[in-house]
Amino acid sequence: WMNIVAMAITFAVSLWMGIKAALSHGKKADTFLSQLALFSFAMPSYYLALVAMMILSVMLGWFPIAGMHSLEPPEGIGYYLDMAWHLTLPIAVMVFVGIGSLVLYVRSLTLEILKSDYIYFARSRGIEESKIIRRYILPNLLPPIVTMLGLSLPGLIGGSVILESIFGIEGMGQLFYLSAMSRDYPVIMGILMMSAFLTLIGNQVADAVLLKLNPFVKR
């Protein structure tokens, strides 16, 4: 579920940052968010993970170095809190590395939407910016984002091989890596088949959601 949480946060943060950058086009906020997105896009995940682990885990001791839970995890709700504490740093690294391209993509789409006549008409009527975002920008922005989200579903089963290896997380990505190193072909084929199945499911779910968002797609 670490990949599910990371993907949900990545898309939510990217959507907000991309819209904010487009609405502040040419201003300091746009420059800052665009530069941050470019920095995220160019940052290798393994390098950021090692630096974050060195500073936040080794030097400051804010987060555990590796693993999904403590050697003697507490019982009850404390077990899940302990797991959340261990997964906070890996999820943060995955989110930061993943937002780069999405922020730039959302910003580009939003800038095209802002050039539409209905946006000028809505602003001329004095409609609040929040209502313009909710009524006009988001409905036109969500279809391509939903398509990207559907195509990202295979990443839930594959995970992040590099980050799971660095943080010592026993996930599907690490399982795939260990299976490849030991030439365990049945496990490799099973993971690849599950990824292919999730690709088909993601496309079907994306098409169904797009049909709800835009009934004209059916025509």
Q: Which residue has the higher pLDDT, 180 or 51?
A: 51
Beta carbons of 92 and 56 less than 8 angstroms apart: no
Average pLDDT (6-23) is 89
Q: Which CATH architecture has domain 2-217?
A: Orthogonal Bundle (1.10)
Q: Write down the pLDDT at residue 32.
A: 92
pLDDT over threshold 60, residue 217? no
- Residue 74 and residue 82: Cα distance in Å, rounded? 8
Q: What pTM, to 2 d.p., does this model score? A: 0.80
Domain ranges of the chain: 2-217
Tens of pLDDT, residue by residue over 189-210, are: 888 888 888 888 888 888 788 7
Cβ-based neighbours of 61, under 8 Å, separated by 6 or more: none
Mean pLDDT along residues 57-85: 80
